[in-house]
Amino acid sequence: MTAKTQIGGTHYLGMAIQPRVFAMSNHWDADAFSVLKYLSRYMRKDGLKDLEKARHFATMRGEFGPPPNTFPPAIRMADYIEQNEFSSDSLLKYALRGLWDTVYTRDGSRLYTPHVLAKIDELTERELIERENIIL
């Protein structure tokens, strides 16, 4: 299977840099990858459920996260955000930037996790409001 093939949907196929490629290129741990994956796809796949999953993995990473990543990043978060056209969504952009800080900053998982969780909560609130407006 390559990055040009996807089983069970198309939510990653339109992405210039897929979460798996970004995470593996940068040697990210499983929890950080999961947060990235669910934040990156929530608008294209499972909305609130994906945000709930992102929050769950961010919480676990904050509690049990590994030490900062010492590998130099191969792909910058700014490039991931820009190439996947997430720049226009400030909440998503800041959640992803905060996630970057949890991976690369000493004690980052403890320092920046509250920021990431707050942005995920804001995304969730926005998603709930948008759903309510659609129903009305």
Provide the pLDDT for residue 134.
78
| DSSP 3-state of 103 | helix
Q: Give me the amino acid identity at 47.
A: G
Alpha carbon distance 41, 45 (integer Å): 6
pLDDT digits (tens, 9 = 90+) for 5-19: 555 555 666 788 999
Split into its structural domains, the chain has a count of 1
In a domain, 112, yes or no: yes
Task: Report yes or no on 80 lying in a domain.
Answer: yes
- Alpha-carbon span 108 to 89, nearest angstrom: 23
The burial of 55, by beta-carbon neighbours within 10 Å (0-12 exposed, 13-18 middle, 19 or more buried), is given as: buried
Domain ranges, residue 97: 19-135
71 lies in some domain: yes
Give the Cα separation of 91 and 114 in Å (integer).
14
Kindly state whether residue 100 falls inside one of the protein's structural domains: yes
Write the DSSP symbol of residue 8: S
| 8 located within any domain | no
**Residue 83 located in a structural domain:** yes
2 in any annotated domain:
no
- What does the pLDDT read at residue 4? 63
Q: Would 13 be classed as within a structural domain?
A: no
- pTM of the predicted model as reported, rounded to 2 decimal places: 0.89
- The tens digit of pLDDT for each residue in 43-81 reads 888 889 999 999 999 999 988 877 788 899 999 999 999
Evaluate if residue 1 carries a pLDDT over 50.
Answer: no
